[in-house]
Amino acid sequence: MKKRVLLGMSGGVDSSVTGHILREQGHDVVGVTMKVWPQDCISRAEDKCCGPQAVADARNVAHSLGIPHYVVDEADQFERLVIDYFTSEYQAGRTPNPCVMCNEKLKFGNLWQKAEALGCDYIATGHYAIIEHHDARAVLRKGVDPRKDQSYFLFSLRQEQLLRAMTPLGTMTKPAIREIAHSLGLKVADKIDSQEICFVPGNDYKAFLRSHLGEKEFHRGEIYDVDGNFVAEHDGIEMFTIGQRKGLPGGSPRPRYVIDIDAQNNRVIVGDIEDLVCDEFEIDRVNWIARDLPNEDVDLTVKIRYSHPGTRATVTPLANHRARVRLHEPQRAVTPGQAAVIYDGDVVIGGGWICRKESLVPA
């Protein structure tokens, strides 16, 4: 059945080919590019999906495909919902995942108001994930290309968001998509995929925090080892992430790693690589997608970060949208603030945000 679909266009090859596929399927497609760059980073965003060049590329592709194209200004919302979240997480000693937040709050969130205003039934993106609609319930699955699968970044979408979402590229591979782009003569066919956070120039998050927050907003403090010994002073907990090895002050005969960040006392805890190993943790703000809330322990697969291959774990639902995850094989660098996404085979069951355990060193 023909539907009117709002297509989020980033100016890249993926969303461009998505537009072609939707048209081939008979849908009425409207292209939209979100202007999300705030003024303090616009001059550094030329080659980003939030930059001026992206808008120009998306507009050219829309013209080639014969679909209308609009630009919507979401800069204020992006600043509030994504960038403020990004900076506040580092200030709290956690490592953020802004792509998840952007998908939930903007691409499949605020953008729906624009879709409704344009008379659209669905929102489509170029994500490599499969969304199946079964009557009143949606199922989120991994994309078939394991190197590109982005289902991890969509775990926090609610059922009402998934039911009005379309991701046609989930059943395809990247080479096949570029081949289609070449066959259509699209100028973005060989455009390089961004490997960075869209609003962080050069992927240097520390420099971004310095320019965005200012030095006075950094939480300076001390570095201790796991035995409680003072190691050195530091210029801000914002400069550290769990598992970090480079840039740690103080001499040591063995490599040191950041194993904990105590935001309450502005302390960074360092230790050996073995101290990074974790076999149990809790997640909060859990979003259960594929089934009703489990009422007992269930063995599933959990990814503790996007690049993680996944590992078997026993998941126990808890009160207040929390869950306990017991890993069958201990993993390194389970990082507070990152998402733990739960799978049953290729189906996303749900996920939540990794919580911090009690500090390893007393205040």
The residues assigned a catalytic role are 102, 198
Instruction: State how far the Cα of 91 lies from the Cα of 97, in Å rounded to an integer.
Output: 14
* 266 Rama sector, left if φ>0, alpha if ψ -120 to 50, beta otherwise: left
Instruction: State how far the Cα of 326 lies from the Cα of 194, in Å rounded to an integer.
Output: 34
Closest CA to 190 of 17, 7, 46, 42: 17
Instruction: State how far the Cα of 58 lies from the Cα of 53, in Å rounded to an integer.
Output: 9
Sheet holding 122-124, edge to edge: 69-73, 28-35, 4-8, 122-124, 165-166
Quote the DSSP letter at residue 195.
Answer: -
> CB-based burial of residue 230 (10 Å sphere; 0-12 exposed, 13-18 middle, 19+ buried)?
exposed
Closest CA to 64 of 103, 105, 127, 17: 17
Query: Are the CB atoms for 42 and 52 separated by under 8 Å?
Result: yes
Instruction: State how far the Cα of 269 lies from the Cα of 228, in Å rounded to an integer.
Output: 9
